[in-house]
């Protein structure tokens, strides 16, 4: 009997030791690091965004969540601040040489000063946006697919748009065609997930576009399973409760137009083969189409906006594959009825929203959000005509 008890006790102790070993070791796995010097507290105070209850349901976590939270929190208390060296790197300007791509060569706005009145207006605006979202998520008469499912019901592959920055306690859900390229750049700088000659990037615009959209650059929720195994969902919930979560959205129809223009009015080999050829065959009655986009454009064969809309409305489309992320609905990318977002930005008010968000995250002194490039400079070229003859500045067209 005594031997049996000793054996059971040994098994339990070994199991506990292995779990602790895995938890301590997991930050060395994968392309993006889970920094053990990260603070689990939000970058802003609980009252920074009225209406948000930061930790009132923290006690309701399951046992495993509580265990992970206590263990990790105790390890992180002493190293919660950003290293001084990193702050200095981010504050300094870029020493990169000028690059040929105009879009990558435009300086960001300087939002080093903030008006108290603007902050107050932004605070009220956030309360209203969050209230609208929560009301419609709770309204049983307003229905749409996947609305009623829980966070646990969301498949892992549908969590691939949630980018995590453990260094500052931030989660960003990116929506294509809503300034996501530059927000991804910001996340790379903050998380230090990408190095240039051994040094983390400190200027968002220095980061090459091909790296920005490389999935290996970012730590996203869908990667948690292969990194943390059965603890992945529990860890996600802890981060969702303790981190600041934000997304940026855009008028849905304008976003569709932007997606169409960038993917089908410009030569894009991938989108021509995957989407344009089927659209031209199905909705424009073309047969023997060229195999390359350059040949197709040379022959005047382009997808029309009408073709694109028919493709979206065709019930056969999603039977073959889910919508591409560039025109997939935001509720399917970011799950706003399952995730309680702390900040909802809109492209139509990008300047004000971005400035206020960086201030809330306490990183506004470390970096600047880059603006769109070509259209900003084009407006500058014709600014006198706009002003002299009373035309309003086309704010929406100046944003990507």
**Domain ranges in the chain?**
151-250+331-394, 254-320
Reduced to 3 states (helix: H, G, I; strand: E, B; else coil), residue 308 is helix
User: Residues 279, 303: contact at Cβ < 8 Å?
Assistant: yes
Sequential DSSP letters for 106-164: PPPP------HHHHHHHHHHHHHHHHHHHHHHH-TTS--TTTT--GGGS-GGGGTTEEE
- What pTM was estimated for this model as a whole? 0.68
* Long-range pairs for 372-376: beta carbons < 8 A, 24 or more residues apart: 372/103, 372/179, 372/398, 372/399, 372/400, 373/102, 373/103, 373/104, 373/105, 373/106, 374/102, 374/103, 375/399, 375/400, 376/106
What pLDDT, on a 0 to 100 scale, did the predictor assign at position 90?
Answer: 35
> Over its length of 400 residues, how does the chain's per-residue pLDDT go in tens digits?
566 666 666 666 666 656 555 544 444 433 333 333 333 333 333 333 333 333 334 334 445 445 445 544 544 443 344 333 333 333 344 444 333 343 333 323 333 334 556 777 899 999 999 999 999 999 999 888 999 999 999 999 999 999 999 999 999 999 999 999 999 999 999 999 999 999 999 999 899 999 999 999 999 999 999 889 989 999 999 999 999 999 999 989 889 999 999 999 999 999 999 999 999 999 999 999 999 999 999 999 999 999 999 999 998 999 999 999 999 999 999 999 999 999 999 998 998 999 999 999 988 777 777 765 656 665 666 676 766 666 677 766 565 5
pLDDT tens by residue, 35-54? 333 333 333 333 333 333 33
Q: How do residues 327-338 score in pLDDT, each as one tens digit?
A: 999 999 999 999
Burial of 298 (0-12, 13-18, 19+ CB in 10 A): exposed
Burial of 282 (0-12, 13-18, 19+ CB in 10 A): middle
Q: In the chain, what is the greatest distance between 2 CA atoms, to the nearest angstrom? A: 96
């Amino acid at each position: 009997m005594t031997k049996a008890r000793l054996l059971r006790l040994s098994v339990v102790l070994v199991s506990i030791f292995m779990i602790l070993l895995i938890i301590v070791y997991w930050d060395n796995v994968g392309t993006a690091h889970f920094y053990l010097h990260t603070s689990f507290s939000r970058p802003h105070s609980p009252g920074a965004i009225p209406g948000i209850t930061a930790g009132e349901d923290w006690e309701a976590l399951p046992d495993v969540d509580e265990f992970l939270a206590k263990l990790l929190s105790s390890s992180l208390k002493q190293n919660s601040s950003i290293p001084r060296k990193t702050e200095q790197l981010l504050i300094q300007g870029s020493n990169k040489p000028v690059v040929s791509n105009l879009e990558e060569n435009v300086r960001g706005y300087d939002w080093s000063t903030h008006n108290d009145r603007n902050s107050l207006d932004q605070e009220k605006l956030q309360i209203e946006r969050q209230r609208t979202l929560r009301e419609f998520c709770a309204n049983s008469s307003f229905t749409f697919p996947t609305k009623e499912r829980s966070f646990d019901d969301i498949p892992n592959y549908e969590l691939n748009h949630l980018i995590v920055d453990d260094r500052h306690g931030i989660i960003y859900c990116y929506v294509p065609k809503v300034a996501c390229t530059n927000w991804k750049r910001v996340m790379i700088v903050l998380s230090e997930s990408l190095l240039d000659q051994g040094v983390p990037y400190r200027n968002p615009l220095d980061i090459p576009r091909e790296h920005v959209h490389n999935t290996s650059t970012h730590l996203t929720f869908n990667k948690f399973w292969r990194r943390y195994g059965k603890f992945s969902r529990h860890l996600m919930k802890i981060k969702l409760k303790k981190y600041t979560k934000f997304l940026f959205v855009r008028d849905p129809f304008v976003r569709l137009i932007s997606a169409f223009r960038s993917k089908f009015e410009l030569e894009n080999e991938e989108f021509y083969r995957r989407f344009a050829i089927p659209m031209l065959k199905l909705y424009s009655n073309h047969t023997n189409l060229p195999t390359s986009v350059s040949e197709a454009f040379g022959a005047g064969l382009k997808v029309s906006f009408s073709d694109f809309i028919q493709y979206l409305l065709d019930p056969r489309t999603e039977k073959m594959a889910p919508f591409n992320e560039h025109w997939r609905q935001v509720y399917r990318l970011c799950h706003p009825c399952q995730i309680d977002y702390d900040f909802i930005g809109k492209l139509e008010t990008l300047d004000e929203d971005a400035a206020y968000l960086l201030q809330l995250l306490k990183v506004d002194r470390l970096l600047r959000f880059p603006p769109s490039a070509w259209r900003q400079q084009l407006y500058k070229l014709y600014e006198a005509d706009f002003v002299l003859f009373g035309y309003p500045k086309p704010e929406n067209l100046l944003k990507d």
